[in-house]
Amino acid sequence: MKVAVIADVHANLVALEAVLVDAGRVDEVWSLGDAVGYGPDPNECISLLREVARLSIPGNHDYAAMGTISTDDFNSEARQAAEWTGTVLSEASRAYLASLPETIVEGPATLAHGSPRSPIWEYVLSVPQAEELFAHFQTQYCLIGHSHIPLAFALPMPGVAPPKPWPPPQEPLDLAGRRWLLNPGSVGQPRDGDRRAAYGILDTETASFVYRRVEYDIAETQQRMRRAGLPERLILRLDSGR
């Protein structure tokens, strides 16, 4: 089975549509949270995710927009975006987000927005931290988002820190024989210095994961953000992917 693994769409409908076109005829789409926050099209993104994503979990920005968690730990632009999102979110969108489980176990994969230990909040960025987390899920893979950085950690770990760029973009990462923590990167708000939308394709039959990057019409998303009155810094960072 081929699965498009998407995370951190952040209400960027133009990017989400481009990713779904690129993914083509995958068997399933799994969404790892933060459907909204930052971007201009929260309800449209949720409608599309409801249609295409068989599995879906919430992220901290989804909870912030719903008022489920406080935005005290957010920077001021993220807080402004969360407040704006909260004012435009439809009842149907709220009901959808409220219905999502924080983690899902599906065949060989566990899905968690942040980490399997702290699904809503924990950022997984270092090898020692990742090593601890393998005790917190039972499946062969754990799929995560939240950091907006495409990453792969394996157990047993490679003997050295992963060279850059790693994992290799666009070529299949062989998952066989090891356990993995995999982050496909962010669809709608990439933060690794590559402005293109990021997502991954998990193939459960060949045990491989492909990191993909997709061009989309950034100017269109930026225009919609300006129309919505979203903070300028969030608009500009789409240009750099940082």
Q: How far is the CB of 40 from Zn ion (least distance, A)?
A: 15
Q: Which amino acid is at 209?
A: F
Q: How far is the CB of 191 from Zn ion (least distance, A)?
A: 9
For Zn ion, the nearest residue by Cβ is: 34
Strands 109-112, 141-143: pairing is parallel
User: Is the Cβ of residue 207 or residue 216 nearer to Zn ion in the bound state?
Assistant: 216
Are 15 and 212 in contact by the 8 Å Cβ rule? The answer is no
Q: How far is the CB of 171 from Zn ion (least distance, A)?
A: 26
Interaction site with Zn ion (CB under 5 A): 8, 34
User: Is the Cβ of residue 167 or residue 185 nearer to Zn ion in the bound state?
Assistant: 185
User: Is the Cβ of residue 10 or residue 175 nearer to Zn ion in the bound state?
Assistant: 10
Give the length of the chain.
242
- Give 110: exposed, middle or buried? Use CB within 10 Å, 0-12, 13-18, 19+: buried
Q: Which parts of 75-217 fold into alpha helices (H)?
A: 76-88, 91-99, 127-133
Q: How far is the CB of 8 from Zn ion (least distance, A)?
A: 4
The H helix count followed by the E strand count for the chain is 8, 11
Strands 151-155, 179-183: pairing is antiparallel
Give the helix/strand (H/E) hosting 48. Answer: helix 42-52
User: Is the Cβ of residue 143 or residue 175 nearer to Zn ion in the bound state?
Assistant: 143
Q: How far is the CB of 145 from Zn ion (least distance, A)?
A: 6
User: Is the Cβ of residue 34 or residue 175 nearer to Zn ion in the bound state?
Assistant: 34
